[in-house]
Amino acid sequence: MDQPTIHPKITPIYQTSVFKFEDLDAVQQYFDEPGSSYMYSRNGNPNSDELAGAVNRWEGGAGAVATGSGMAAIFAAMLTYCQAGDHVLCAADIYGGSAALLNLELSRLGISVSYVPFESLYDLAGYAQPNSKLLLCETMSNPLLRVVDLHAAAKECHRHGLKLVVDNTFSTPVLTRPLAYGADLVLHSVTKYLAGHSDVTAGAVVARTAEDAARLRQIGVVFGLTLSPMESWLAVRGMKTMRLRVAAHSENALVVAEFLAEHPAVQAVYYPGLPDHPQHALAVTQGAGRFGGMLSFRLPDDAAVVNRFMQRSERFPFAPSLAGVDSSCSHPLSTSHRALTDAQRAELGITVGLVRLSVGIEPIEDLLADLAQALD
């Protein structure tokens, strides 16, 4: 009997490490016509290509690569522009893993780093060196949700001959598309809002130019940073609802931020949607009127108080990640920012009382009721 013709609506999971060729002509065609067929999943797979294509479309790039994690995405982005002897500028407010990559590993390979305080991101003269290649920053920083003016940062970078690499994990392209403001590469921990369900570890990097996209792809393949079919498929599925999820996260987080700002047990709230946030006006224009699902707040600097909040809260389990549809809380001092020096932590105000919330998409009444009972 003939094989039935199958037309799946959704791309199936091509859980295969390798693909077959009919004969020598077929393998020749694979090399002559890139994209016409597949050979080996590390080099390319329909599922990882679908994910890269989806992220690329959202970010408005010329090409993208899907990677095994957000860390692999940062590594691929750094290698796109840097080699031994080069220098990297990095925003002082940065994901702890990015700092670890630069401080502990890329330094060994002869790539040095200088950290630029938030106030100096638009005036790099005191930081750029003749061998500086790029600035790495985040659209919205962790855990204080400082918002970077990407247009101003890109202009300043290009004035010094630097590339701008933006980690857009906290904002997502639903809020902000860094390439449109002049960034050269934009990267994601797909683990977070793009996949969105706390069930995948993945990353992606998108390039503004086709040349950089080709470099990225080669780095992904040769360093073996590319993503598996199953994880790609899960991330693609998550991305189908990203626009709706990020809208719901943003709505809930604004209400939670307003609630916390009024609560007597809370000393400060960091959320770009609040009018007293230092970059509120910028966040409004650069974030399409939404502010995302992440916020931090300050309890008294007493571990017993923080522990009581964590123990009593039921809707915000202490789980040191973010961006899932279910809410969670984290503690920057003891998790993401553990590796910082005391001076760095003091400068950023990361003390024992600082708690970070990832506000999910549950009914808002449930979240407020839970926070109220946990704080009272």
Ligand X SMILES: *Cc1c(COP(=O)(O)O)cnc(C)c1O
Residues 246 and 188: beta-carbon distance below 8 Å = no
42 included as an active-site residue: yes
The single residue of 49, 86, 93, 167 carrying the catalytic annotation is 167
> Which residue in the set 191, 228, 232, 252 belongs to the binding site for ligand X (CB under 6 A)?
191
> Which residue in the set 45, 139, 169, 358 belongs to the binding site for ligand X (CB under 6 A)?
169
Distance from CA of residue 181 to its chain's centroid?
A: 17
167 included as an active-site residue: yes
> Which residue in the set 138, 156, 184, 231 belongs to the binding site for ligand X (CB under 6 A)?
138
Residue nearest to ligand X (CB): 70
Strand runs labelled E in 173-291: 185-189, 203-207, 268-270
> How crowded is residue 275: how many other Cβ atoms within 10 Å of its Cβ?
7
The single residue of 30, 81, 95, 181 carrying the catalytic annotation is 95
Q: Which helix (H) or strand (E) holds 346?
A: helix 342-348
The single residue of 192, 208, 290, 356 carrying the catalytic annotation is 192
Binding piece for ligand X, criterion CB under 6 A, among 152-160, 164-172, 255-263, 273-281? 164-172
192 included as an active-site residue: yes
Binding piece for ligand X, criterion CB under 6 A, among 54-62, 68-76, 251-259, 272-280? 68-76
Complete edge-to-edge strand list for the sheet that includes strand 294-298 = 268-270, 294-298, 354-358, 328-330
> Residue 182 Cβ, how far from ligand X at the closest point, in Å?
20
Joined tokens for residue 24: 């020598």
351 CB-side CA count, 13 A: 13
* Torsions phi, psi for 290 (to 5 deg): -125, 160
Here's the x/- map for ligand X, 247-286, by CB under 6 A: it reads as ----------------------------------------
121 vs 119: CA distance, rounded Å: 6
Regarding 296 and contact with ligand X (CB under 6 A), the answer is: no
Regarding 97 and contact with ligand X (CB under 6 A), the answer is: yes
> Residue 41 Cβ, how far from ligand X at the closest point, in Å?
20
Catalytic residues: 42, 95, 167, 192
